[in-house]
Structure 1
Amino acid sequence: MPYWPGYSDISPQCRATYLEWLATGRSDASYNPGYMFLYFYGLERRFFVDQSNEDAKEIVQEVRRLQSLYPDNHSVRRYLGEFLDIAMIAETDLDAIEPIFEKQGWELPFSLKYAIGAQIDKGENLTADWLLSWFICHPETNLRTPATRCRDEFAALFRMRFDRRFPDGLKVTKPRKSLTASYRAASSEFQGSANPTVDGKPVPDISGLRKPVEIAQELADEVMNDLDKLSRFLGRNPDGRGSVEAHALLPSELWDAFPSEEMDHLKSWASDIVDRGGLVPLEEVIGRLEGETNEKIGKRQMTGAADALARLGFGLAPDPRFALRSPKAEEPVVLFSLGEPIERLEEVSDSYRSALIELALGSFVVHADGRIAEPERRALEDQVSAATLSDQERRRLRANLEWFLAVPPDMALLRRKLKEVGQDNQAAMRAALVGAAHADGIIHSDEVASIEKVYKALGLDPALAYSDLHAGEVSDGPRTVRASQPGRPGEAIPELEKASGPKLDASRIAAIRSDTERVSSVLGQIFDVEEEESGASGPASQSQLAGLDSKHGALVLELVTREHWSETEFETICASHGLMASGALEVVNEWAFETYDEALLDEYDGYDVSPEIAEAVKEKMSAEGRDV
């Protein structure tokens, strides 16, 4: 049976088979599709050449039935689909034509042009579905991976954004050109045409309109950008749809449309934790979110956990973006209510940062003698209540207070850390302590004792507290009641023993106290009690990219030279750097998440390289005078 069979050209045996297929109901798909095409040639001629109106609907229905017999045959889908695209108008009411959400060729489907043109002719505004259909089927539009990998989410979010921007629908200017259709027969024996009308009038042809397509592309680009992180996650985890991590990457508008059973379980668990006081091991939080925990929990995991919980209306303290240090895996964290679900956590205010510093210093004080007295706890709680903060910041600050009280600092390690930060930064720390004591303008004896206690715990000379307090411009010495009168000479009163260590200048204290960012940085160094990795890297092992060793750094510099690598190519270049492909993929993507908050490599028919990260790496190398 040839590709374009003709009844007069096929062998007698094939003719007999064709007649048998006709006689048995024309429904046996085990026969060669060529026999079905012989039959179809007659149907298309009857419709377009004979233009038989009395059986036009029956012809369309029969062709649709034939198409269903061979759903996986490309030729059947193409030729019968082209026929139906034009001929369906004969049997389908205008209102019954539905949008098409799959690109079918190099032209807009005729039925789509007919339906949209008729709506424009009637003065009707386009709905989101019709604009989306127009966009998807248009030969010049661009659909990136997020739109195809997250197909349902893309369509749903496009509709939402369209309705927000065009609540009454999109008004489209009526084009002057009328719609016509040319049909080239599958048998190649004739050409047909159609000039559709609505209510006896020609239908406008939308083929040449540009503005609606540009509007659709703008909306689609916005939606694809918002789905990019979800798309990358699903690229790495094809079975991850519906998981906690996937749901956390959904734009908030889609939360109700795409519910997650795992998120419901997580919300119930978090609510129980908050009801019990909020303290929970960090390992348990990460395990709940990711299904497993590693020995080391990085900033990216902590940030992801905080974002996922925020979308459910819960906060995590300490949040690594706002905290002085991150907790260790074996330490607890505090879950608390944010009051409402939040899609994206905003930057905290300077007032919050100042209040957090004061609480941190207060925690030094209450932990200095190894126990927390109830009056000390109440004093810190009063600090939280008195701070000028938003409701959400106050909730976060109160949770951080609970964490400060629950997780005592390692004083021995803090002493070593304080020595490592240098005298200037030690001075900043001392200034912050004195500043906290000066907050109410009065220095109480118990405050002096507390500062002495902290100084001693941190390995500083307690006597420095007095000179620091004087430098803070608060008078705590004796006041002059009357002028002194010289008396009889006697033994001279010895001078007070001077504290060892550099003195604080009053103006310097004022400057440091006003510089919240610097004090936060110093406290961050001191509070971050995680041990540094042993052994400094020598020049030979250093990478040109911070956070990567020399091998992985060199691998990244090679990867960013191209937009895509096949799986074989990736394995080859990994081997050239002495690396295993699977391990290298995990390392460079983890580094990319830590540095740029997204993966460098997206697994999709090989490996796509993030253009944003590639550009950033190239700019960094160029700024340092090195080419990639």
Structure 2
Amino acid sequence: MIDTGKSVDFGSDYAVPVNFYWSGYADALPQQRGAYLRWLADGRSSPDADIAYVFAFFYGLERRVLIDAENDRAVDAEMPQIMKELTRLHKHYGSKSGLFSRHCMSLLQVLQLAGDPQRLYLQPMPDSSPEDGMPLHLRVALGQACVDNVPLTVDMAWAWIRYDPALILRTAASRCPDEFESLFRLTYKRLHGDGIALVLTTHKLCLPYSPASPGLQASAGGKTMPGDIPDFTIASLPRQTLQELIDACSSELDAYSRVIEHRPDRHATPDAWLFLPFSLWPETAKRALAYVNACLGETVMVMSVEELARHFGASAGIGKDNLRALAAALLAQRIAMEPDILSMAGGAALPERVALYRAAAPQEAGDVASFYETALLSLELLLAMAQADGVYSDHKWPLCQAQIVAWSQLTPYLRRRLMARMILLQPVALSSFKRRIAALPPVAREACADCIITMAGTPATRQEIAVLERVCTLLGVEHQKMYSQVHAGATAHRPVSGSSVSADGFVLDRARIAALQQDSQQVATLLGDIFQDEPGTDVASPPIDSHDGLLGLDATHARFSRHLLTRTSWRRSELEPLAQEAGVMLDGALERLNEACYDAFDMPCTEGDDPVDINPDILERLAQ
């Protein structure tokens, strides 16, 4: 209260610091009284005013609310004006003094709740500083919501985590406040719908008020708000749920937070928002992804990395980390990328092209990983065969496409994935498969060989046979088995859609193969009878050792070679049934014999394709 009888010195400045808080106007020095009156006359808003003068005015408001209002009910009419003034003072000086901010907000909340308002949870939350702790308005609103059986809405939950000092906000939440609030609200609604149910607690809300004025602390302190309202600020379960949600949202924003820490100027560019959860992407980026989704369907979309980057607004290109972030965001929308950027090692080079395709649906889950890997290796080997030394006249891509479609054991997702891998496949040498093949179990290698022989078709030239032999050698499959399968009709020029498959790989249609083998055997017997008495030049048979070997050849090739060496010249049509009867591939067997002769005598055994002439020098050497 201003005592007009006290002396006043108007020469003092209210911006000069005051060394002590005076409890009343009468306790102040004349210079301080003058500065205080000048501050009042200037509108009580100057940011330069020392906080002591603000407190002096606040003491008067506090006395009016706590003492005068109890003695004179007419003062109640002034309460709206006092609340307005407290709000204004807090706006101007709340940030200047934390102590004043807390006292000002506490008195303001007492006034707001003095009339015992109902359903505060439906009213907007008054603005307050988080440093002031949980506002009384929020504490009462939570208690009233529980009593009225109203769940914890997203607005109340957000207010709770803003003001509760017991809830810990991580760096991402403070560095990206707008993104954190948006993500928190979206996640809360997704997980909890209309809100978390509040369970009644036995703890009742107690709202003490401690006056700031030293003269009122003894007479007006300890006042509490009336009412039987639960206190949820001490309940552990809601707070634990909110803390878990805070941590989850912060984790989703960690990558984005690190980007804008170093490049805050890039927060609105793809360099930054690619690391945001998709729900927080800019609308233009969401529309770009929706366009890709609509165009994709069940097909495979291939484009350069630069084209993909431009589609999402990165006109200056895209780095490996950003491409990885984009791949993760696309996968979250069921769009997979090949090559699998998310599984690539950190030192791997950025690909030039990528293929986008529809990712697996939840109902497509199944244990087909071993089948997929065997199918993938088979197709890659087939294409590598086609590229090896330019042997095959076709590049086998149409065959791969047809085979992928024909494999009924593959899910639609795995078909799309195989197609994407094949489209992007670059020419590689057969030797590059050694490490991958070495990691396969024997049954998977045999399954892979069966598949390749089936898809490759009947070799037409000696070079094609040599390539097929190299593949079988890599897979650790005996050439004899490969020759038998080819001659028995196990290969096919079209995909074998009726093949059965086990968990370990491919199993050919054995009934069909058996029938073809039987037919081939009958043809071989018939041809053998026809050409058995064919005239020719007889030569002495080379000596046969006890192990049925010849020049280091295995028994099967040795027997065929001995039959071959009984004459000096053969028509190809004569040799083919003999090779089939022996269970070998004709060109492969001739190649092996020639290699053995080169090793032993430095010269080939046969010359020409049709007729096939036997080198007389070899016959002479073997006869010795």
| TM-score over 0.5 for the pair | yes
1:389 aligns with 2:410: yes
- State yes or no: 1:104 paired with 2:131: yes
2:455 corresponds to 1:437: no
Q: Deviations over 1:450-483 (max 9, x none)?
A: 4633667x99899x98446158798479626669
Note the 1:168-567 alignment, pairs <5 A: 168-191=194-217, 192-197=221-226, 201-252=227-278, 254-255=279-280, 258-259=281-282, 261=284, 278-282=301-305, 303-310=324-331, 314-320=335-341, 329=350, 332-338=352-358, 349-370=369-390, 376-387=396-407, 388-404=409-425, 407-409=426-428, 411=429, 415=431, 417=432, 434-439=449-454, 444-446=458-460, 450=464, 452-453=466-467, 466-467=479-480, 469-470=482-483, 475=488, 479=521, 491-492=540-541
CA distance in 2, matches of 1:214, 1:466: 67
Q: 2:148 aligns with which of 96, 100, 122?
A: 122
> Displacement, 1:187?
2.3
How do residues 66-81 of structure 1 correspond to structure 2 at under 5 angstroms? 66-75=89-98, 76-81=100-105
CA distance in 2, matches of 1:408, 1:89: 78
- 1:7-65 CA deviation, whole Å, 9 max, x = no partner? 22322122122222323433333433322221111001111222232211211111111
Equivalent position amino acid for 2:103 in 1: Y
Q: Secondary structure of 2:68's match?
A: coil
Query: 1:58: which partner in 2?
Result: 81
Name the TM-score, length of structure 2 as normaliser.
Answer: 0.62
Match of 2:493 in 1: none
Check the 8 A contact 2:154/2:189 in 1, yes or no.
Answer: yes
CA distance in 2, matches of 1:427, 1:448: 27
How far apart, CA to CA, are the structure 1 residues paired with 2:106 and 2:169? Answer: 23
- The aligned length equals 480
Q: Are the counterparts in 2 of residues 144 and 224 from structure 1 also a CA contact under 8 Å?
A: yes
Change (3 A) 1:225 1:121: same
**Contact persistence 2:298–2:358 (CA under 8 A):** no
Of stretches 128-137 and 444-453 in structure 1, the one that deviates more from structure 2 is 444-453
Q: How far 1:349 sits from its partner (Å)?
A: 3.5
User: Tell me, which stretches of 5 or more residues in structure 1 are unaligned?
Assistant: 504-628
Q: Deviations over 1:374-418 (max 9, x none)?
A: 6832211102212333333322322222112xx323x4xx64x56
Structure 2: distance between partners of 1:210 and 1:359: 58
1:435-455 Cα shifts (integer Å, max 9, x gaps)? 323447x96335996463366
2:353 counterpart SS class: strand
d(CA) in 1 for partners of 2:437, 2:254: 44
C-alpha separation between the residues in 2 aligned to 1:454 and 1:360?
14
Q: Which structure would you say has the larger RCO, counting Cα contacts within 8 Å and 6 or more residues apart? A: 1
CA shift in 2, pair 1:31/1:102, >3 Å: closer
The percent of aligned pairs where both chains have the same amino acid is 24
Q: Which runs of 5+ in 2 are unaligned?
A: 1-17, 70-74, 490-516, 544-548, 558-624
TM-score (norm 1): 0.62
SS at match of 1:156: helix
Aligned counterpart, 1:86: 110
Q: Is the 8 A contact 1:119 1:125 kept in 2?
A: yes
SS in 1 for 2:356: strand
CA deviation vs aligned residue, 1:358-380 (integer Å, no higher than 9, x gap) = 22112212322549866832211
Distance 1:497 1:428, change over 3 A: farther
Return the alpha-carbon distance in structure 2 between the equivalents of residues 132 and 408 of structure 1: 56
Q: CA RMSD in A?
A: 5.1
- Counterparts of 1:439 and 1:102, CA distance in 2: 75
Q: Does the CA-based 8 Å contact 2:207-2:224 persist in structure 1? A: yes
CA contact (8 A) 1:100 1:133 kept: no
Match of 2:55 among 37, 42, 46: 37
Q: CA deviation at 1:433?
A: 5.9
- Which of these two proteins has the greater Rg computed from alpha carbons? 2
Name whichever of 283-292 and 429-438 sits farther off. Answer: 283-292
Match of 1:2 in 2: 19
Q: Could you say what secondary structure the match of 1:316 adopts?
A: strand
